[in-house]
Amino acid sequence: MPRRRHTSDITRREFLRHAAVAAAMGAGVAGGVSARQTASASTGEEEAAVVKRRTLGRTGLEVFPLGLGAGGIREAAVARRALDLGVNYFDTAEGYQEGNSEITLGKALKGRRDEAVVATKWGWWEKETADDYVAALDASLKRLDMDYVDIIQIHAASTREHVAIEAAREAFERAHKAGKVRFNGISIHENQVEVVEAIIAQGWYDEILLVYNAGNAQQMKPVIRKAREAGIGIVAMKGLAPVHEAMKAEEPRELPDEPYRKAMQWVWKDENVANLIVSMPTFDQVEEGVAAARGELTPADQKKFEEAITQASLGMCRMCGACTGQCAKAVQVADIMRYRLYHDGYGDRSRAVALYRALRPGASAAACGDCTSCSIVCPWGVPVQERMRDLHSRLA
């Protein structure tokens, strides 16, 4: 495996190369980079020079605070643009877009593999043996057109059992020995506090990808600190979820100016978080994300933002996962709420529909139509039955 890059800041030489590429792309390669965006890349040298990379726990990997969540990426040039601007953490999965996310990312990083940290995922739900896991990683490497990935993650762990899958552990050891993967990771969306505690106790994992935003801070901040103190690198996701929810609310919710930028900067305030992945399928979003990373939330703005999110997210899903296992009919409420975010928040209908339709029989919200009253008690006051019926009518 190539040696990883140790540079901790974006250098002047790198910036000039980024600016040159920005100019070339602004000339028409992408057709989506506005004059404002190109100018922001070519006039922000001083700002770009101070974006500090962060260390991803005991992996020692140095990462730009903003990462590209490649689940919705459709154009290699967009991911390449992110790389040009200093983004070096890229998150994908075997299941995203039925493998096309990995293919697109591989094209984007072609010839510049050593500049990137690449994390992919293997799903536990369709594998039994270590051979199954190793075969899945081999297939991911083929789609990525790479010899190795930096991190392989168990995808969507939601129980203590998912943290302790021996076949995955054995597969990781074999693949690591063969030079196909460097570090062992795990991603979680639900039941997060319990699962993170289990991960820390297990001691197998170098990195965790978890849901973290101003809406679930009270619950997550302490356990993130604990994981970091145990040497585990923390990558956050769904950092924009409370803003997406508030923006899509039927009744208008009051938010501060530039809420997306502030939502990202809120996450970066936590020094225990090395990286926040954001779904950025367009040039605009990449540019805006990088611009956010070049700034910082002031303490006054942080306070105002937290207050606004607390107010705005009353009755909205915070992705806490507390509803997991509560439905007597086994509807996967937390997963379905996440698909709702993909649909309404990210505008990614095809991903939301594909995931919803792939739910095992009985796990969809079809059952909610016959339910006389919902047994789920959401600590954040989300009207679960109403949301489930609405989602089913739109995604089934």
Cα Rg of the chain (Å, integer): 20
Report how many residues bind ligand SF4 under the rule CB under 6 A. 26
Distance CA 34, CA 284 (A): 8
Interface with ligand SF4 includes 329 (CB under 6 A)? yes
Among 378, 315, 316, CA closest to 344: 316
| Of 169, 261, 318, 392, the one binding ligand SF4 by CB under 6 A | 318
Of the two residues 265 and 313, which places its CB atom closer to ligand SF4 in the complex?
313
| Of 112, 375, 383, 393, the one binding ligand SF4 by CB under 6 A | 375
Of the two residues 267 and 320, which places its CB atom closer to ligand SF4 in the complex?
320
Residue 135 is encoded by which pair of tokens?
């075969």
Least distance to ligand SF4, CB of residue 318, Å: 5
Distance CA 228, CA 275 (A): 13
Least distance to ligand SF4, CB of residue 120, Å: 25
Residue type (1 letter), 225: R
Of the two residues 220 and 384, which places its CB atom closer to ligand SF4 in the complex?
384
Count Cα neighbours of 31 within 13 Å in the Cβ-side half-sphere.
Answer: 1
Least distance to ligand SF4, CB of residue 316, Å: 7
Specify the pairing of strand 62-63 against strand 54-55.
Answer: antiparallel
| Of 167, 367, 390, 394, the one binding ligand SF4 by CB under 6 A | 367
Classified as helix, coil or strand, 186 is: strand
Among 356, 354, 361, 358, CA closest to 329: 361
Interface with ligand SF4 includes 332 (CB under 6 A)? no
Which segment (59-67, 111-119, 342-350, 370-378) binds ligand SF4 by CB under 6 A?
370-378
Among 269, 262, 271, CA closest to 309: 262
Distance CA 55, CA 233 (A): 8
Of the two residues 292 and 320, which places its CB atom closer to ligand SF4 in the complex?
320
| Of 322, 341, 363, 391, the one binding ligand SF4 by CB under 6 A | 322
Of the two residues 224 and 320, which places its CB atom closer to ligand SF4 in the complex?
320
Distance CA 204, CA 183 (A): 10
Of the two residues 73 and 395, which places its CB atom closer to ligand SF4 in the complex?
395
Least distance to ligand SF4, CB of residue 392, Å: 9
Residue 141 is encoded by which pair of tokens?
């490497």
Interface with ligand SF4 includes 331 (CB under 6 A)? yes
Distances (CA, A) of 304 to 61, 218, 258, 311: 33, 16, 12, 11
Which segment (38-46, 105-113, 167-175, 379-387) binds ligand SF4 by CB under 6 A?
379-387
* CB-based contact 109:385 (threshold 8 Å): no
- Looking up tokens 């679960």, which residue turns up? 384
**H or E segment and range at residue 118:** strand 117-123
Of the two residues 10 and 322, which places its CB atom closer to ligand SF4 in the complex?
322
Q: Which residues contact 185 (CB under 8 A, 6 or more apart)?
A: 119, 151, 152, 153, 154, 205, 206, 207, 208, 209, 233
Cβ atoms < 10 Å from Cβ of 15: 21
| Of 334, 341, 355, 363, the one binding ligand SF4 by CB under 6 A | 334
Interface with ligand SF4 includes 371 (CB under 6 A)? yes
Interface with ligand SF4 includes 224 (CB under 6 A)? no
Interface with ligand SF4 includes 246 (CB under 6 A)? no
* CB-based contact 154:187 (threshold 8 Å): yes
Interface with ligand SF4 includes 368 (CB under 6 A)? yes
Of the two residues 3 and 373, which places its CB atom closer to ligand SF4 in the complex?
373
Interface with ligand SF4 includes 385 (CB under 6 A)? yes
Interface with ligand SF4 includes 376 (CB under 6 A)? yes
Least distance to ligand SF4, CB of residue 362, Å: 10
Interface with ligand SF4 includes 337 (CB under 6 A)? yes
Classified as helix, coil or strand, 51 is: coil
Distance CA 250, CA 113 (A): 44
Residues of this chain that interact with ligand SF4 (CB under 6 A) are 317-323, 327-329, 331, 333-334, 337, 367-368, 371, 374-376, 378, 380, 382, 384-385, 388
